[in-house]
Chains A and B, each alone.
Chain A
Amino acid sequence: MQEDKPTGGDVNAVIQIAEEKKKQQRDSWSARLSSLAETRSKSEFAAIFEYFAPRVKSYIMRLGMPLATAEEVTQEAMLSVWRKCHLFNSTKASASTWIFTLARNQCIDRLRKEKAVEYELPEEEPDPDQRDMAEHSILEERMQVAISGLPESQAQVLHLSYYEGKSHSEIAEQLGIPLGSVKSRLRLAFSKLKAHWGEE
């Protein structure tokens, strides 16, 4: 997209370049995570750590974990990145999404003392959804734009669910609205996000 140079005062072009830069960054994290499985390079891991650990820590703290434990759980989550990077498949998720799921599972284990149940693909059935990496980062790009464009009431339930780890019933209680309204707000948000990633 080299032709998209900002011309004086062209805010849209500037935004576009910023978005493009973020997308490249995401692509590169996915590529670096993929190559980590082969190289097992500690300096490469250190780079991934420097970018993702402070984000994972921030996420874990929002879920309500005290500072000291948050740091410890972040270390556990980042160690699982090292242990499992050969399982990362950039055709299925971006690096951010994959690391999000690792951190989430670590929190379920630690915060709720429950087992995080992951799904497995049936052996005989190849995954029909073979997106390429570029598509995934485009999807996430659009997703971020779409999330920031959600009406307040929908953005709020999305944040409470993903970032504060609240169940739908707890959100209903906290906001003083019926459980059905929490779900319908989430459904509305999801369908808006779906419209942005433009498929199905």
Chain B
Amino acid sequence: MNIRHHFDDATLMAYAAGTLPEGMALLVACHLHWCPACRDRVKHAEAVGGALLDSIEPKSMSANALDDILSRLDDEQPTVDVSPTQSVILPKDVPAPLHSYINTSLDNLPWKRLGYGVHHIDLNLGSKGTTRLLKIAPGVSVPHHTHSGNELTLILRGSYSDEIGRFSAGDVADLDGEIHHQPIVDTDQDCICLIATDSPLKFSGLMGRLVQPFIGL
């Protein structure tokens, strides 16, 4: 996989600090599954947490805490090493962390039509923001929009282009409120991506105003 677009350092630090909403953390984990370069950066970002833990002022545990935990050790079974997803052959375009949420291939999902050439699946994570899969037909463009918070996009299949560049499988677009963009699917294949936000998108322009209340993106 030839990945050209990666996360912002700030996003990886938020992942390492554990402050991303579940959907965005899921998307980060999916890209990490494919991207050794970002895995390396996350290790460094997690080491920041380790270094802080080393220098933190300890708070003593209550007197019986140690006895209490020692008495519980015998009931604890070691976590099994093999994750369930490793024993199944996964579709090439569904990274393991996503597979545990959808449990099927992208083609077998119950896609819902949103508008002309656009289908979606809402993962209904119930966390802040929204997390959905979007399937966009060739030549279709998503309305020009800006973001009030942060939006992460991971391309699973196909590609699109926008003002920033060309994004294909494995690439991420890591955008915040300052960017206006209008992605368009630029091959004859559907583009399927995972999109996670921490707040609703704002569409700009007439098309945006017409479409936003309707599709509720």
Contact = CB atoms under 8 A, between A and B. Distances in A.
Interface of A: 22, 26, 42, 45-46, 49-50, 53-59, 61-62, 71, 74-75, 78-80, 82-84, 86-87, 92-94, 96-101, 103-105, 107-108, 112, 114-123, 125, 127-129, 136, 139-140, 143-144, 147-148, 158-159, 161-163, 165-169, 179-180, 182-184, 186-187, 190-191, 193-194, 197
B69 interface: yes
Contacts, number: 221
A104 B49 contact: yes
A42 B70 CA distance: 7
A179 B43 contact: no
B33 A120 contact: yes
B79 interface: yes
Contact of B79 (A26, A84, A103, A186): A84
A61 B36 contact: no
A22 B55 CA distance: 11
A120 B25 CA distance: 13
Contacts of B45: 190
Contact of B13 (A59, A79, A101, A190): A190
Interface string B170-203: 0000001110000000000000000000110000
A97 B49 contact: yes
B54 A139 contact: no
Contact-residue bracket for chain B: 35 or more
A143 B81 contact: no
Given A120-B96, A165-B18, A75 B68 contact: yes
A128 B40 CA distance: 9
28 contacts: A45-B70, A49-B66, A53-B61, A54-B59, A54-B61, A57-B59, A59-B52, A75-B65, A79-B69, A80-B79, A83-B79, A86-B79, A97-B51, A100-B50, A101-B49, A105-B18, A120-B97, A140-B51, A140-B54, A143-B50, A148-B55, A162-B49, A163-B56, A180-B177, A190-B9, A190-B13, A190-B44, A193-B48
A163 B13 contact: no
Given A93-B46, A101-B46, A120-B33, A55 B58 contact: yes
Contacts of A118: 29, 97
Interface in B68-102: 68-70, 72-73, 76-79, 81, 83, 85-86, 96-97
B8 interface: yes
Contacts of B46: 93, 97, 100-101
A45 to B, nearest CB: 7
